Structure formats: C-alpha cells, structure tokens
A and B are shown apart, each in its own frame.
Chain A
C-alpha cells in the first residue's frame, strides 16, 4: 500500500520529538561501519561475474572535431583482445545531476580533449589497457576551438539576473563601499572510488553494478542511452566510494559496459582510471566574480552587487550557480546580480560538492571582510546587523534563520576579539599569525521520495529504497528514523539501499538526501503506526512504542498476528517549496599562520557552527561538517584545475598534481551543531548538511591570511606565490 503525503504547510507537530525509543539524533556509530573498516563492504567493481571481460576506455587527443576512422587491426591482433566498441550510443559526457535523459552521445563527435571515443575489451585488464594504446585514430580536427572563458562573448543566464533600485547611485552615495573582483579556479570532486560498472545481460534484461548517487534518475538516463525500456534494467549501488557530485548522472563507463556486454555476450567490467575520472566526468567551473557592496554610516548595507562569469561546453545547461545564496543572505535595497556563461571547449562543467556557494560564498565573504575594514566595524557585527527580516528579492519569509545564533555561538567558542582589527599584529619567528571569519549559507532543497517499510511478523523492520549512501550516513539515519517511529532498537531494522528494484528515493545530492528520504520513511512509519493503533482501538498519537512493545506492554509481534505489515511512504514537497526561502546557515572561524618568507599558509585551528534543522545523528552530522571544513581548506589553499591555454586539456588530472588536503593540512576542527526544528523544511524538520560545511569556509581562511600577514589575496586558491606577491614589504 502506497501512502502519499504532499506537504503544503509547515509541520509544527514535531511528532518525532514525542516518540519514545530515544535513538534519533544520538551519536550512534554507522550500521554499515563494520563492513567498511574490515574491507568486506563491496563497491561497484568488486562483484563477481562469471566469465567477465574487462574494458578500458580510449580517449580523444584533439579538442574539437570528428573521428573519421579508428584502425582497430593492431589492437585486435594483441593477445586476449575481444572487441573494440565505438557504437554511436556510447556517451561522451556524464549526465548532469537530475538530467533524467541520456547525456551527449556519438563518440565520433569530439568536443573536448580527453573525451571517451571507444572501449577496448579483453580477457584481462592488463590486455585491454595495453591494447587501448594501439588504436590508430584518424581525426578531422577543427582548429581554434575556444578554451579561454575570458575570450568569448558570454551568455547571460537571465533567470539569475536581478536588478532592484540603483546600485551605481547607492555605491556613489555610500559612506563606505568595496568594488572588488575575485577569481576561483576549477575544482574536481575526486571521490576516492573511481567510476566503475559491471554489466551483464540475461536475454533482454540488463543488470549493472555501478557507482552512482541517484539511481532514480540514472535508470532513466541509462535506458534512454541504450534505447530500451527502464523496466528491463536493474541498477545496484549498495556502497558508493564518495560522490561529491561526480556520480549524480550516468557516466560513460556504465553505458560502455552495457553496450559491450551485449555485443560480446558476456559480462563486462569497465573501471575508469583516475585520469579518466578527472578529465571525462565533471569539473567545477572556474569563476570571475565582481562584488560591489556598500553601507551607510551605521553599517547597514544599502547596495549589493554580485556578477559572476563561469563556463561550460556547448550544449550543457549547467552554469555554476555562483549567486545562489547571494540572492537572500544579506539585506541591501539596491541590488544587481548577474550570472554569465562562456561556451568553451574545456571538459564538462557540472556539480561538484555545493555547486554555487562553494565558490560564491568565499568571494562574497572576503568582500564582506574588506567592507568591515573599510567601515571600521567588527566583521561579526557587520554580518549580524545585515541579516534581512525576509528574502530581500522575493519578499518571502525564511523557513527558519540561524545565522545570528551560529555567528554568536561560534564567535564565543572561538574566543573572537570583537575589538578593532589591524593586520600584521602577531609574529612568531617566521610566521605571521591571525584570525578570520565568514558566514555560511547553502540553499535547502527537499525532493519527492518513496521508501517501503515492512514491520515483519517477528518484530523486526526492513527498509527498502533505491536511495544511496555515498558516505553520508543514509543507512544509519534510516535505521534511526524507523527505530524511533516504530519503537525498535536500530539493530532490529535492516536497511536495504541502492537497488533500483526498490521504491524510488530522491538520490544523494544537493544535500537533499536525508530530509527527503527521511520524510518518505516518516510517512511510511506513520501509516504503520495508524494500522497498529487501529488494532489497539486507540488514536495513533496515543500509541507509545519502545523496544518492540506498547507502553501498556503489548508486544508488536502480538499485534502483527503472524503477518508482515508493509507501507510505501511517498513524500512530496508541495507549497512549502514556494512559500518560503529555506537555507542552512552557519559561521566559520579560523586561525592561520603565514610564513613571512615563503607565503606558505598553515591552518592552526578552525571552528564551524551550523544550523540545519533537526540533527538526525550527531556523529555522522558532525562528520559531514568536518568534511566540509576540510574542503574549505582545499578551496582556500591548494585546489586548482589547470588547463593548457592552447588546447584546453586538463594538465593536472591526477591526485599527485591536483592537491586535495592531506591529513597534515587539517588541524583539530571544532563543530557546533546549532539544533533547531525547521517546520517548513520537511515533516521531520530536518535540512541537509552535506554541503553547508564548505560554503564560505575558504573566506574565513582568506580573511585570516589578511589579518595575519596583510596579504589581501583576491584569487583562490591562495597559494604561496600569490600570498607572497600580495604581502606588504
């Protein structure tokens, strides 16, 4: 039985707070944790398939043009080689998140250097890898493909454009103003598990083990790419070794494995190399951002301008939504916001953790620091006095607002000095020492989701949904929500995720996973509770369940009368999505030291406070925040995709040359969870936390670099060469 609930109004009942099991929100260890720490959790490439062949992708060495012909003779003559696949259904890019249709196909059409053009299949990985180097490709190259985002006329993303009042006049009339341009480099998701797929056919039925974030969309994308009904496809992704946006859409190796397996009549495994993942999946676009901010003599924002230029390939709809939180974070009656997209032939740009705010917030929050200095106001105070009462553009109320609480609590815990700030005040040996802060914001989304909950006759429960756990903790919070609602210890709840045979969840992405799937589970459990209450002849709210029994001592097993009780919860956000501006908020504080001679920056301590509705698990939520802060450190100091200016190819496409933070780059981090109940966020009053932890943190570090050393760096990442160049003599 499917139970549908569309949420048009805030849910202030807070039903979960009235439940008796007492497991939701606790710091329970992950229920999938033992499998992960003992190496017994199976990821996509690790399943057994009888008689499985191995495929290795071959990629283009031109930027734009056509593949006239591939001479396969030399490759096919090598030992073990079975086939060279260049079927026109092969996909040449990963699908964008929630695309729900096949991405670009036809591998004979090349749009970026490193694009997959064929798959070589052999008995062993070593044979396929070797043979892929022996394809002789005849290209018809189209020269002079544009690869520089600053050198083409960009397309305005008009749905992002805002023009309210007169910003130029406000800037001229203001007591204090900043007009400053920042740049950010591209980023890679760099999830630790490379993209991988094992495809096998049984007649017309296809089963694929893959590493994907959103099976609910991926199955449609794969069906569309192959030209078969999605009912013929089963996708499985029980463990996913990180996503960060890179596995939102169906990727090239999945389609290639499926086509190859069909063609050779055997299962085929395709695992991307790390270099393939870097160049053929997604980059976060670089950005150029002009910030114009002005205040009156009291420090109230009178003008707010944010203009960003990003890039993508021709034909891609995605434009890094840099302005996403700028639309509502701060007041300012005179507003100019504009996003522009340059069409160039670098690899595909798409979602990388916290698309938009990941680079928009660092630029905005550095500009706010400069404004605070210009106005002679404490930067914490400047932010506190410019929190708007309602959305400054749409006029909507906020679903909840924790920015002030986060700023205040974090400043206190960090020991922030609210006095007048001057750079270059503390020196220890070679090192300048200083502090900085920034606000955090990340829009809240909640999506349609379905999940089946079965209360078994033996008093245990089973959760079934195609929702994934990409390290976010879905397995664990599902057990906690169901345990809380049905009065079961979490170890009595079996959670079965990542199988497209199950009801469709929301997918993991956009920080909407937990609130959306959690709401579907809540709806299913509430329906089960109603049936149980009916059997007891009481009202559902009066049903108190704990450890498998009612408060009056009736065992669940007794109520079930030897039969399972199953409900599919179908949650759908209704008018709440239109009636409120909803966001997670937070604050970052950092202390850094900057080497006076080399410009090297080390983060010595960092703290974040975050408000994101109900906390479902204190341990995994804190870990999400820690991860976000770690990404903030990478954004601030090291992470940069570098492209060859001649042909646009990615030159640092591996983990030696693209510098993600390592253990020694990260100090002890403090996290404050500013718990609240956001009734308009979801019926479980929760928002997501997968991305908020990196939305602005890089600015806290950038501002601390300035406070420490006097170097105001306007280009991310703030590498030693840039810091030393900006440092006063």
Chain B
C-alpha cells in the first residue's frame, strides 16, 4: 500500500528514504520550489508551510511523518494570475526585497490571521484568555520566527495590518 501526503489538494506518494525532510521533499521531490531552504535548522522560517491548518518549519520534520496530512505551500495560496490578498499586499507594500524569505513570510502571515481569529495568545498578548485584537506588536511577535535579512520588516507589518483591516 502506498503511503501518501496531500499537498495543495493533490495526493503524492511519500519518499522512500526516511531521511528526506518535508522541505526537501517539497522542493526536490515535488518541484514545489516556492518553499525555501535558508538554514535547514528551524532558525530562519523561510521553509514555513501550513500543515493541517498550523504553520510549521518544514525543514524540522521528515516527510515520512506526514502520511495523510494536508500541506499548503505558497503555490497553494495563490498564483501570479490570482494572488491571495496577502500576496497582493506584500507586493504593494514592498514587503520583501530579494524575495527569498517571502513565501515563508506569507505562509506565516496567512496562519497568523487564523491564530488571531482563534484567540491563540502570544508573548505580545495582554492576556492568555479572551478575545484577541491584532496590534502591530502582536504581528511583530508572531512574525519574529521569519527572518528577513533585507530588512523589510516595517513593510511586512504594514502589509499584514492592511489585510487584517480589510477582513474586519
């Protein structure tokens, strides 16, 4: 029986080599190169994808551990012809320069908006319980696992704030 994983809605057989990280499987196995390898050690966030609705560093987990999981990568969020609201906002606010950390930033930001909607607290939240509102400090804290060496943070916060405000 073939073990499979769902990526952007399509089922794929899992790799045979158990050493293959989810990140390398996406990039080299499926040629979904939008997910980036920046450090391979969970330090930079460039490889962020959404697994069963939760964002994770795909370099820190093995592909073999994701049988039947549903993975969404940057390619699953939007396309050049139909970008997602966050992708469009990153473009307009210049929330990137070299673009290498950008897919990870956008996957993180996508999941972040759901975390706020689900009232998941962070270090920047005033209270552990109750309804969360999305302050700039809340965005900064939740995006701090995604490094951007070009230094586009101020524009990244503006892009996320813009989309969050459109939603409410």
Asked if residues A655 and B151 are in contact (CB atoms below 8 Å), the reply is no
B98: contacting residue among A240, A622, A626, CB under 8 A:
A240
Asked if residues A666 and B154 are in contact (CB atoms below 8 Å), the reply is yes
Report chain B residues within 8 Å CB of A473. Answer: 97
The answer for the CA separation of A654 and B88 in the assembled complex, in Å, is 32
B114-146 CB mask vs A (1 if < 8 Å, else 0) is 000000000010000000000011011101111
The answer for the CA separation of A273 and B59 in the assembled complex, in Å, is 13
Asked if residues A193 and B100 are in contact (CB atoms below 8 Å), the reply is yes
The answer to the question of A661 belonging to the interface, with a C-beta cut-off of 8 Å to chain B, is yes
B97: contacting residue among A124, A472, A662, A669, CB under 8 A:
A472
The answer to the question of A575 belonging to the interface, with a C-beta cut-off of 8 Å to chain B, is no
Asked if residues B147 and A37 are in contact (CB atoms below 8 Å), the reply is no
The answer to the question of A362 belonging to the interface, with a C-beta cut-off of 8 Å to chain B, is no
Asked whether A655 and B44 contact (CB < 8 A) given A34-B80, A193-B98, A627-B151, the answer is yes
Asked whether A39 and B91 contact (CB < 8 A) given A471-B150, A660-B147, the answer is no
The answer for the CA separation of A69 and B33 in the assembled complex, in Å, is 38
The answer to the question of B43 belonging to the interface, with a C-beta cut-off of 8 Å to chain A, is yes
The answer to the question of A628 belonging to the interface, with a C-beta cut-off of 8 Å to chain B, is yes
A619-655 CB mask vs B (1 if < 8 Å, else 0) is 1101110111111000000000000000000000011
Q: In the complex, what residue of chain A is closest to B28 when comparing beta carbons?
A: A125
A623: contacting residue among B36, B83, B94, B102, CB under 8 A:
B94
Report chain A residues within 8 Å CB of B156. Answer: 663
B17: contacting residue among A48, A124, A623, CB under 8 A:
A124
CB distance from A353 to the nearest CB of B (A): 9
Asked if residues B147 and A39 are in contact (CB atoms below 8 Å), the reply is no
CB distance from A637 to the nearest CB of B (A): 14
Asked if residues B149 and A668 are in contact (CB atoms below 8 Å), the reply is no
The answer for the CA separation of A566 and B79 in the assembled complex, in Å, is 34
The answer for the CA separation of A37 and B145 in the assembled complex, in Å, is 18
Asked if residues A655 and B153 are in contact (CB atoms below 8 Å), the reply is no
- B60-114 CB contacts (< 8 Å) to partner A: 73-75, 77-80, 83, 87-88, 90-92, 94, 96-103, 106
Asked if residues A663 and B33 are in contact (CB atoms below 8 Å), the reply is no
Asked if residues B38 and A35 are in contact (CB atoms below 8 Å), the reply is no
The answer to the question of B11 belonging to the interface, with a C-beta cut-off of 8 Å to chain A, is no
Asked whether A38 and B149 contact (CB < 8 A) given A46-B27, A470-B98, the answer is no
Asked whether A192 and B151 contact (CB < 8 A) given A620-B94, A664-B144, the answer is no
Asked whether A631 and B151 contact (CB < 8 A) given A126-B20, A473-B97, the answer is yes
Report chain B residues within 8 Å CB of A35. Answer: 80, 99
CB distance from A656 to the nearest CB of B (A): 4
The answer to the question of A687 belonging to the interface, with a C-beta cut-off of 8 Å to chain B, is no
Asked whether A39 and B34 contact (CB < 8 A) given A34-B80, A241-B100, A242-B100, the answer is yes
Q: Number of B interface residues, CB 8 Å? A: 64
Asked if residues A623 and B97 are in contact (CB atoms below 8 Å), the reply is yes
Q: Number of A interface residues, CB 8 Å? A: 64
Asked if residues A41 and B99 are in contact (CB atoms below 8 Å), the reply is yes
CB distance from B60 to the nearest CB of A (A): 12
A198-239 CB mask vs B (1 if < 8 Å, else 0) is 000000000000000000000000000000000000000001
Asked if residues B151 and A126 are in contact (CB atoms below 8 Å), the reply is no
A553-572 CB mask vs B (1 if < 8 Å, else 0) is 00000000000000000000
Report chain A residues within 8 Å CB of B157. Answer: 663, 668
Taking chain A's interface residues, is the majority helix, strand, or loop, or is none over half, making it mixed? loop
B13-50 CB mask vs A (1 if < 8 Å, else 0) is 00001011000100110011111111111011010000
The answer to the question of A672 belonging to the interface, with a C-beta cut-off of 8 Å to chain B, is no
Asked whether A36 and B102 contact (CB < 8 A) given A627-B150, A656-B43, the answer is yes
Q: In the complex, what residue of chain B is closest to A41 when comparing beta carbons?
A: B99
Asked whether A32 and B147 contact (CB < 8 A) given A39-B33, A620-B94, A666-B153, the answer is no
Asked whether A192 and B75 contact (CB < 8 A) given A37-B87, A39-B34, A655-B38, the answer is no
Q: In the complex, what residue of chain A is closest to B96 when comparing beta carbons?
A: A36
Asked if residues B97 and A663 are in contact (CB atoms below 8 Å), the reply is no
Report chain A residues within 8 Å CB of B152. Answer: 623, 626-627
A465-509 CB mask vs B (1 if < 8 Å, else 0) is 000001111000000000000000000000000000000000000
B91: contacting residue among A33, A48, A192, A242, CB under 8 A:
A33
- A165-220 CB contacts (< 8 Å) to partner B: 189-194
Asked if residues B153 and A663 are in contact (CB atoms below 8 Å), the reply is yes
The answer to the question of B56 belonging to the interface, with a C-beta cut-off of 8 Å to chain A, is no
Q: In the complex, what residue of chain A is closest to B79 when comparing beta carbons?
A: A38
Asked if residues A273 and B40 are in contact (CB atoms below 8 Å), the reply is yes
Asked if residues B96 and A37 are in contact (CB atoms below 8 Å), the reply is yes
Report chain A residues within 8 Å CB of B44. Answer: 192, 274, 655
The answer for the CA separation of A669 and B154 in the assembled complex, in Å, is 7
Asked if residues B40 and A274 are in contact (CB atoms below 8 Å), the reply is yes
Report chain B residues within 8 Å CB of A241. Answer: 36, 98-100
CB distance from B68 to the nearest CB of A (A): 23
Asked if residues A666 and B151 are in contact (CB atoms below 8 Å), the reply is yes
- A259-318 CB contacts (< 8 Å) to partner B: 271, 273-274
Asked whether A274 and B98 contact (CB < 8 A) given A191-B149, A655-B43, A664-B141, the answer is no
Report chain A residues within 8 Å CB of B79. Answer: 38, 40
The answer to the question of B148 belonging to the interface, with a C-beta cut-off of 8 Å to chain A, is yes
The answer for the CA separation of A23 and B136 in the assembled complex, in Å, is 33
CB distance from B104 to the nearest CB of A (A): 9
Asked if residues B83 and A37 are in contact (CB atoms below 8 Å), the reply is yes
CB distance from B36 to the nearest CB of A (A): 7
Q: In the complex, what residue of chain B is closest to A48 when comparing beta carbons?
A: B31
The answer to the question of B6 belonging to the interface, with a C-beta cut-off of 8 Å to chain A, is no
The answer to the question of B155 belonging to the interface, with a C-beta cut-off of 8 Å to chain A, is yes
A18-48 CB mask vs B (1 if < 8 Å, else 0) is 0000000000011011111111111101101
Report chain B residues within 8 Å CB of A522. Answer: none
Asked if residues A626 and B154 are in contact (CB atoms below 8 Å), the reply is yes
CB distance from A639 to the nearest CB of B (A): 11
Asked if residues B136 and A661 are in contact (CB atoms below 8 Å), the reply is no
A660: contacting residue among B91, B103, B149, CB under 8 A:
B149
The answer for the CA separation of A627 and B103 in the assembled complex, in Å, is 19
Asked whether A663 and B100 contact (CB < 8 A) given A39-B75, A48-B31, A191-B149, the answer is no
CB distance from B126 to the nearest CB of A (A): 16
Q: In the complex, what residue of chain B is closest to A469 when comparing beta carbons?
A: B98
Q: Which B residues fall within an 8 A CB radius of A?
A: 17, 19-20, 24, 27-28, 31-41, 43-44, 46, 73-75, 77-80, 83, 87-88, 90-92, 94, 96-103, 106, 124, 136-137, 139-141, 143-157
The 7 closest A-B pairs by CB, nearest first: A39-B34, A471-B98, A241-B100, A630-B151, A36-B99, A627-B151, A471-B97
* 15 more A-B residue pairs beyond the given contacts A193-B98, A623-B152, with a C-beta to C-beta distance below 8 A: A33-B90, A33-B96, A36-B99, A37-B88, A38-B79, A41-B99, A43-B33, A46-B27, A130-B19, A623-B94, A630-B151, A655-B44, A656-B41, A663-B146, A668-B157
Residue contacts A-B, CB under 8 angstroms, 20 given: A29-B94, A40-B80, A43-B36, A46-B27, A46-B33, A192-B44, A239-B98, A241-B99, A242-B100, A242-B149, A274-B41, A471-B96, A655-B39, A655-B44, A663-B148, A663-B156, A663-B157, A664-B140, A666-B154, A668-B157
